Chain A
Amino acid sequence: MKNPYLPLPTRVEKIVIETEDKNIKTFCVKFLNDEDASNFNYLPGQFAQLSVLGEGEAPFGIASSPTQPGGLEFTVNKAGVLTTALHNLEEGEIIGIRGPLGNCFPLEELEGKDTIIIGGGFAFTTLRSLINYILYKENRSRFGNVVVIYGARSPGLLLYRDELEKWEGRTDLDLHLTVDRAEEDWQRKVGVVPNILKEIAPSPENAYAVVCGPPIMIKFTLPVLRELGFLPERIVLSLEMKMKCGIGMCGRCNIGNQYVCKDGPIFTLAQLDELPSEY
C-alpha cells in the first residue's frame, strides 16, 4: 500500500523572484527519481504538499502545466513559517513533494467552449497552469476562445511577466492586464478586476468563467458574472483552506460536508451555493 504521507524528494532547479516586493517566488523543482516523476500525473487545478524537512509542509497549487516538459513549478507568497522556509532555500536544495492532490479544473466540460479566465494577485498560479494547458499546440483546437483578465495592485506585483508579454503577442488568446494603481509607463488597463470584466462584458453563450483571486475580488466579480448571464453551473472557482493531510482525514478544511482537499479545491458556484458560507 502506498503511504500517502511520505514526501518524495525533488531538487530546486531554479528560483525566480516574481514580484518587485520580492515576497513571491516561483520554485522550479525536479524529482530526484525518474520513477517518481513518471508517477506524478497531474492536471491544471490540482495542488501538492511541499515539505521542508525540519519545518513542515503546506499545500500549494501547481503553477506549471502538465504539457510542459521538465519539472513542476510552484509560486509561493511568503506568509508563514513554511513559506518563509521555502523563501530561504537556495537553488540545488532538496524539498519533498506529496501529490498530486485534489481535483482539477473541469477540462472536459471546457472543451468546445469559450473560457473566461479571471484572476487576481498571487492566486493566478493554477490559472496559469490552465492557460498553458489550453494553449498547448496539441490541445488548443479542442477549446474555443480564451479571454484572460488578470489584475494586481500594481504592475510590479503581476506574476509571470515574461510569459504575459508572450501571451500578449498571441492571436489565440485575448489577454487583459489591469492594475489598481497605474505607473508612468503602464500602457494597459487601470481598474479593479470586476470593473474590467464589466467593461469587456464577455458573452456567457457557450462559455465558462474560471475565477481565482483574493476574497474581495471574488465577492465583487461574482455579481458581475451573474449580471452578464453566466449560470452558477458555469462559474468555476478554486478555494483555499488551511490543510494538513491533504487527503480528507485531518478534518479541518471542510465547508459543510465537502473537504476542500479531497472534494475540491475546484468547485462550481452552483456547488458552493449548496454549502454553508464558511470560507
Chain B
Amino acid sequence: MQELEIAKTELVSLLNTLIKECKVFAPVEQNGFITFQEIHSGSEAFLDYINSKKPPKEIFFPQSEGLFSYDLSKGKGWSVEGPSSEKKQSIIFGIRPCDARSLVLLDNVFDGQLYKDPYYTDKRKNTTIIAIGCNQPSSTCFCTSLGGGPFYQEGSDLILVDIGQKYILQVVTEKGEKLAKKHNEFKEAEDHSLSLVRDTMEKADALMKSKIEVQKVTEKLDSMFDDPFWDLVSEKCIGCAVCTYLCPTCHCFDITDEVISQTGERVRTWDSCAFPSFTLEASGVNPRPSNKERYRQRIMHKFNYFLANHGMVACVGCGRCIKECPVNLDIRGVLNSILNH
C-alpha cells in the first residue's frame, strides 16, 4: 500500500477519534514518571519520553488480576463465578519496539500449544499495537544485542517514525493496515519525508553503543550451572526483585485467595524468582535457598531455558533492570562476564 504519514499536529485528533472507537492506552506522565494508561482524551498522551517506567505488559498481564470470584455466605454451596471475557477492542499507542517485541515472547508462555491463558489471550487478540520507533535510545538500551532495534517491527501492527514535524507510518500487519486505511488523519507521504526515514533510523542505530554477543552467552550457559561463577555474580544482588517486576518479559505469578467479609476472589499477582518464598515448599524445603540459586535462575531462564523451550531469548534489551537496580547490577556486565568466563 501507499506510504502514509501523519502530521504531529494531527495526533491529538487521531487519538480522540480512536478513543471513540475503542480503549486507547498511551504513555501518560504522572508523579514524575511515565506509565501506560487508558486515556480519555488525546491530549493526555505524553510522547516526549524515552520509555515508560513500567512495561506495558500489564495491559495484558496486570500486576494483580482476579481469576474468579465466589460467595462464601452460601455456606457449603459452590458459587464460583468465572470472568466475563474481554470483548472490547483496544489500541496501545506509543509503545516502544522492544516492549512490542516482548509481547511476542510472552505469547509463547500464555498462548502455548498445550494450555492457553484466556485472561491474556482475550486481551491480546483484541488489541492493535501502534509503536513509535526510538530516535533517541537511552544509554541503558541494548535491544540490538538481542536481535531487536530502535525500529524493530515484530510485535507491532504499525510503527511510527518520527522525522521532526511528522511521523511516517510503517505498516507491519494486516491489522495495522486496516487501522491506517480507516483514518484520514493519515495522508499519503511526501517523497521528501520518505527520504528522511532512513536517515532517522541510521542515526538511532549509531547511538546503540552496547553490543553483546548474546548467542555465545547462551551457549556458554549450557555448561555453567554448577560453576562457582554464580557465587560471585550474585553477591551484589539484594533480592529486591525490581528487575523482574519492571521486566517486559518476566511472567512469573502467584495465585492466592483473598476474602473480604464473605466475598472471595482468587487473584493472580506478579511474583518473582528473586524471592525466597517463590520456591519454598510447605515442608520447609527450598530448592533455591539463597540469592545464588535465585539469581542463577533469572539468568538461566532468560538466556538459556527459554531459548531451549521457545527458540528465543527472554530479554528484549529494554534496559529497565539496569536503570532501576538499587545496587547497579548491570545485566550487560553479567552477560559480558559470562562471555569472558
User: B46 on the interface (CB 8 Å rule)?
Assistant: no
The interface residues of chain B lying within 8 Å CB-to-CB of A257 are 304-306, 308-309
Q: Nearest Cβ distance between residue A271 and chain B, in whole angstroms?
A: 14
* Complex contacts, A242 vs chain B, CB 8 Å: 278-281
Q: Is A200 an interface residue (CB 8 A)?
A: no
Query: B252–A252 contact, CB under 8 A?
Result: yes
Contact of B257 among A3, A4, A56, A256 (CB under 8 A): A56
Chain B interface, >50% SS class: mixed
Contact A251 B251 (CB under 8 A): yes
A107 interfacial contact with B, CB 8 Å: no
B255 proximal to A (CB < 8 A):
yes
- Contacts A80-B282, A83-B282, A241-B281 given; does A247 touch B114 at CB 8 Å: yes
Which of B257, B301, B304 lies in contact with A53, CB distance below 8 A? B257
* Whole-angstrom distance between the Cβ of A173 and the nearest chain B Cβ: 31
Q: How extensive is the interface on chain A, given as a class?
A: 35 or more
Given known pairs A4-B117, A249-B117, the reply for A56 and B280 (CB within 8 Å) is no
Residues of chain A from 26 to 69 with CB closer than 8 A to chain B in the complex: 32, 51, 53-58
Residues B252-284 near A (CB distance < 8 A): 252-257, 259, 264, 266, 268, 271, 273, 278-283
Instruction: Verify if A245 is at the interface (C-beta below 8 Å from B).
Output: yes
Query: Min CB distance, A272 to chain B, in Å?
Result: 13
* Contact assessment for B255 and A54 in the assembled complex, using a CB-CB cutoff below 8 Å: no
By the criterion CB–CB under 8 Å, are A6 and B68 in contact? yes
List the A side residues contacting B119 at CB < 8 Å. 5
A7 touches B271 (CB 8 A): no
Q: Are A276 and B115 in contact (CB under 8 A)?
A: no
A72 close to chain B: CB less than 8 A: no
Instruction: Identify which of B23-31, B76-84, B331-339 touches chain A.
Output: B76-84
When the two chains form their complex, are residues B251 and A1 in contact, meaning their CB atoms are under 8 A apart?
A: no
Cross-chain contact of B80 among A9, A245, A278, A279 (Cβ < 8 A): A9
Tell me the bound Cα distance from A4 to B285 in angstroms: 28
Assuming the contacts A244-B255, A247-B115, A262-B114, asked whether A252 and B271 have C-beta atoms less than 8 A apart, the reply is: yes
Indicate if the CB atoms of B254 and A1 lie closer than 8 Å: no
B339 to chain A, nearest CB (A): 21
With A94-B77, A257-B305 in contact, do A251 and B282 touch (Cβ < 8 Å)? no
CA distance in complex: A9, B121 (Å) = 25
Q: Are A56 and B256 in contact (CB under 8 A)?
A: yes
Chain A residues 213-231 with CB under 8 Å of chain B are 215
Contact indicator B112/A248 (Cβ below 8 Å): yes
Chain A residues within 8 Å of B283, by CB: 79
Query: Residue of B at shortest CB range from A79?
Result: B282
Task: Report whether B309 and A93 are in contact in the complex, using a CB–CB cutoff of 8 Å.
Answer: no
Asked if A1 and B76 sit within 8 Å, CB to CB, the answer is no
